[in-house]
Amino acid sequence: MKELEYPFDAEAILKKKKSLKRELLEAGEGRFIEKKIAILGGQTTQNIKLMLELFLLNQGIKPSFYETEFNQYYEAGAFPNPELEAFAPDVVYVCTCIRNITAFPSLADGEETVSQMRNAVIDRFAGMWQYIAEHYHCTIIQNNFEYPYFRLMGNKEATDIHGRVNFVTTVNSAFAEYARTHENFYICDVNYISASYGLEKWADPFYWHMYKYAVAVPAIPYLSFNVANIIKSVYGKNKKVLNLDLDNTLWGGIVGDDGAENIEIGQETSMAQAYSEFQEYLRLHKQLGVLLTINSKNEEENALSGLARPDSVLKKDDFVCIKANWEPKSMNLQATAQELNLLPESFVFVDDNPAERAIIEGQLPGVAIPEIERVEHYVNVLDKSGFFETTSVSKDDLKRTEMYQENAKRNQLMASFADYDEYLRSLEMKAEIQAFAPMYLSRIAQLTNKSNQFNLTTKRYSQAEIEEAAVDPERITLYGKLGDRFGDNGVVSVVIGRIDGERKDELHIELWLMSCRVLKRNMEFAMMDVFAEKALERGIRKIFGYYYPTAKNAMVKEFYGHQGFSKVKEDDDGNAIWEFDLDENYQNKQTVIAVNEGPSEA
Amino acid sequence: MTREEVYERLNQVVREVLDDEDIELHDETVADDVEGWDSFEHINIIVAVEEEFGFKFPMGKTIKMKNVGEMVDLILESGK
């Protein structure tokens, strides 16, 4: 919804929150994932909650809330709390503020005392986080502290150990250290968000003294937007692809008219510098695993001549797909999505032309379309939108562009074979298929939240739940890594089976997913072979597979049929149960992948 | 700005915040008379009114407002 996308009108959102909520609920009906969010407040949190609800609904997440009384965050979070236990939160958001720091150093305090005071704050919070992690096994989001709104000593506050500015800085740094060393724990960087908004307005004491809001009410949408971005990122709703226009987006001018030598890029003029800075900002996204693609109305030759300029920051090889032609951009975007095996809703379409943006908006709902206007502000709009809010960085992310380029080479190779099996054998594929191993848990959790198309049950798992599954004796877990002569695809498939509570020779497949980047490589059969082997070892005689249809997973409707299961039940909505009788005569289904033959990394 | 003009805009703001098209405010109206005008929504009404009329309520006067009429007085005062 446009109203909730950056740059938004915060006051309008606050004013219209009720009608916006109604519209969001109607528009998204039946397509929400539901999450339980506990807000532990060190200030009034009512509006923070209502704004968070809107931004989450806009991301397809329908939240239910538990909210503490004013300033009861510590009592609610650090001690036994039957109410919170019954609520069983997926996310605990600790919404504290600088006013929750009750003791600051005075100038008379010695270094030792100051250090003790700092540790007292840190230990109090860390104790609460540990309690929450142990008892609720959920994601934790913690505000760090905004700067104080007054500076007794002026600039010296930043450097003197007695200064409140210095005190907040060191406490924030300890919070960050905790986040670095603990899984499922994220900092909401209030310190940055308040600076970006303007601390003087953010910390307006009017709102504290009147209503116990430490955040000025008009600033609350910015806070909640950031919290919502962290949550949607945890649940795999980040964008994956930047789909970029060229003329007046990546460089100034029209390359087809002006010629590559006359477009604005490089360091010669202010405009050229601004476009170069924007290109550099885009290039940085590659390390997050974001794919860069081009969608331009141009002759391809002209498009490439612009990128071939020596002072162009982005080069042809930085892009995994280049569409420079005269087709409608909506068709180009769709074709790009198909080639990458991704959905259009994973795309951010960046184009300076409002008419092109309107076409995409009308044709391809779900594509993010930031309203960029002036090149000097392009970075700001993209950056604050939070499309790529990062909650975990896996090794895969760093080399995703390479992986897609390897795929292009595979496709070329495929064209040279008449027989598909022959092509598959020529890839020299090697798979590692094993029970969940510690080093892959974060990637496995990430996959369960990101995979939509090749996903039989679309069950989402937090990392904590994946950790539990890994050690649960009643479950059989598998991850699959696939590599070939062109490169390593990393972990691409996950299966979790649960042994029946009563009939110990029956197994229920609660999750089966695969990344679309390895479609049609027979990896799903390799997974089945190992799964069957592990199940036999556990004395399993019957396997039940489940297919729950969503808007996106039609491609696996008949998956279990292809695996040799028979359908035993299907309801009107298409929810189906399949079964497979297992015995020692199980025949391996695939012969083109060498499974578990190489040295294991685990 | 006349008192009537203030009321026209004020009604619209409060209707939007409380999502109720039927709200009609008068000098004597107090929060309790209006369904949904609780202490949580009060701050949102204050913020929305400030935005609508382009001024900030001083805290000292805000806490003494007894009814809508006094709010309108403050709005008119701010426009001087």
pLDDT by residue (tens digit) across B2-57? Answer: 999 999 999 999 999 999 999 999 999 999 999 999 989 999 999 999 999 999 99
**Cβ–Cβ of A15/B17 closer than 8 Å?**
yes
The interface pTM score, or ipTM, of the predicted complex is: 0.91
CB A320 within 8 A of CB A404: yes
What burial class does residue A244 get, using C-beta atoms within 10 Å of its C-beta: 0-12 exposed, 13-18 middle, 19+ buried?
buried
pLDDT for A602 equals 41
Q: CA nearest B48 in A: which residue?
A: A15
The C-alpha of A232 sits at a distance from chain B's nearest C-alpha, in angstroms, of: 26
Tell me A491's DSSP state: E
CA distance A564 to A580: 7
Instruction: Tell me, yes or no, whether A300 and A442 share the same domain.
Output: no
Of A83, A12, A23, A107, the closest CA to residue A58 belongs to A23
User: Could you tell me the CATH number of the domain that includes residue A224?
Assistant: 3.40.50.1110
pLDDT for A251 equals 97
- Which of A214, A234, A254 corresponds to the end of one domain? A234
The number of helix segments (H) and strand segments (E) in chain A equals: 24, 17
* pLDDT, tens digit (0-9, with 9 covering 90-100), for A21-31: 999 999 988 88
- Percent residues over pLDDT 70 in chain A: 99
* pLDDT, tens digit (0-9, with 9 covering 90-100), for A405-464: 888 788 878 878 888 888 899 889 999 999 999 989 988 998 998 888 999 999 999 888
CB A268 within 8 A of CB A261: no
- Best of B15, B18, B19 to mutate (most A CBs within 10 Å, chain A): B19
Question: Is B80's pLDDT higher than 90?
Answer: no
The domain in which residue A152 lies consists of 2-234
- The DSSP H or E segment spanning A595 is strand A593-595
The C-alpha of B30 sits at a distance from chain A's nearest C-alpha, in angstroms, of: 18
CA distance A81 to A75: 9
| In the block, residue with structure tokens 């009107």 | A572
Whether residue A298 lies inside any domain: the answer is yes
Contacts of A15 in chain B (CB under 8 A): 13, 16-17, 44, 48, 51
**Alpha helix stretches (DSSP H) within A219-269:** 220-234, 255-258
- Which of A356, A385, A414 corresponds to the end of one domain? A385
pLDDT for A599 equals 60
The C-alpha of A563 sits at a distance from chain B's nearest C-alpha, in angstroms, of: 54
Size of interface A-B (CB pairs under 8 A): 41
Whether residue A91 lies inside any domain: the answer is yes
CA A292 to chain centre: 17
Of A136, A133, A125, the closest CA to residue A85 belongs to A136
Question: Is A601's pLDDT higher than 60?
Answer: no
User: Could you tell me the CATH number of the domain that includes residue A262?
Assistant: 3.40.50.1000
Instruction: Tell me, yes or no, whether A260 and A338 share the same domain.
Output: yes
Instruction: Tell me, yes or no, whether A253 and A206 share the same domain.
Output: no
| pLDDT, greater one: A416 or A127 | A127
| pLDDT, greater one: A517 or A187 | A187
Q: CA nearest B63 in A: which residue?
A: A210
**Cβ–Cβ of A18/B59 closer than 8 Å?**
no
Question: Is A487's pLDDT higher than 90?
Answer: no
**Cβ–Cβ of A14/B44 closer than 8 Å?**
yes
CB A496 within 8 A of CB A415: no
Q: Does B41 touch chain A (CB under 8 A)?
A: no
Instruction: Tell me, yes or no, whether A255 and A225 share the same domain.
Output: no
Task: Report the range of poorest mean pLDDT among A295-299, A509-513, A597-601, B4-8.
Answer: A597-601
Instruction: Tell me, yes or no, whether A249 and A230 share the same domain.
Output: no
- Which of A207, A234, A261 corresponds to the end of one domain? A234
Instruction: Tell me, yes or no, whether A346 and A446 share the same domain.
Output: no
Instruction: Tell me, yes or no, whether A152 and A275 share the same domain.
Output: no
**Residue in B18, B48, B56 closest to A14 by CB:** B48
Alpha carbons within 13 A on the beta-carbon side of A11: 11
Whether residue A407 lies inside any domain: the answer is no
**What domain count does chain A have?**
3
CA distance A108 to A90: 45
The first and second tokens of residue A192, run together, are 């940055």
**Residue in B43, B47, B62 closest to A11 by CB:** B47
Instruction: Tell me, yes or no, whether A358 and A456 share the same domain.
Output: no
- Ordered structural domains, chain B, with CATH: 3-78 (1.10.1200.10)
Q: Does B32 touch chain A (CB under 8 A)?
A: no
Q: CA nearest B36 in A: which residue?
A: A18
**Alpha helix stretches (DSSP H) within A137-241:** 164-181, 190-197, 199-202, 205-211, 220-234
CB atoms within 10 A of CB A84: 20
The C-alpha of A62 sits at a distance from chain B's nearest C-alpha, in angstroms, of: 21
Whether residue A420 lies inside any domain: the answer is no
Q: Does A209 touch chain B (CB under 8 A)?
A: yes
**Cβ–Cβ of A46/B40 closer than 8 Å?**
yes
- Best of B15, B38, B42, B51 to mutate (most A CBs within 10 Å, chain A): B51
The C-alpha of A16 sits at a distance from chain B's nearest C-alpha, in angstroms, of: 6
The first and second tokens of residue A594, run together, are 């060498």
Whether residue A398 lies inside any domain: the answer is no
**Cβ–Cβ of B43/A207 closer than 8 Å?**
yes
Task: Report the range of poorest mean pLDDT among A362-376, A436-450, A470-484, A579-593.
Answer: A436-450
CA distance A143 to A445: 24
pLDDT for A413 equals 83
Question: Is B59's pLDDT higher than 70?
Answer: yes
Whether residue A132 lies inside any domain: the answer is yes
**Cβ–Cβ of B16/A209 closer than 8 Å?**
no
Instruction: Tell me, yes or no, whether A367 and A464 share the same domain.
Output: no
* pLDDT, tens digit (0-9, with 9 covering 90-100), for A198-211: 999 999 999 999 99
Positive or negative, the CA dihedral A439, A442, A445, A451 is negative
Whether residue A417 lies inside any domain: the answer is no
Q: CA nearest A13 in B: which residue?
A: B17
Q: Does B31 touch chain A (CB under 8 A)?
A: no
**Residue in B16, B19, B47 closest to A218 by CB:** B47
pLDDT for A397 equals 76
A 34-93: CB under 8 A from B: 46-47
CB A242 within 8 A of CB A284: no
Instruction: Tell me, yes or no, whether A283 and A213 share the same domain.
Output: no
Contacts of A211 in chain B (CB under 8 A): 39, 43
Query: What SS3 string covers B69-80?
Result: HHHHHHHHHHCC
Q: Does A561 touch chain B (CB under 8 A)?
A: no
Task: Report the range of poorest mean pLDDT among A13-17, A187-191, A397-401, B46-50.
Answer: A397-401
CB A434 within 8 A of CB A441: no
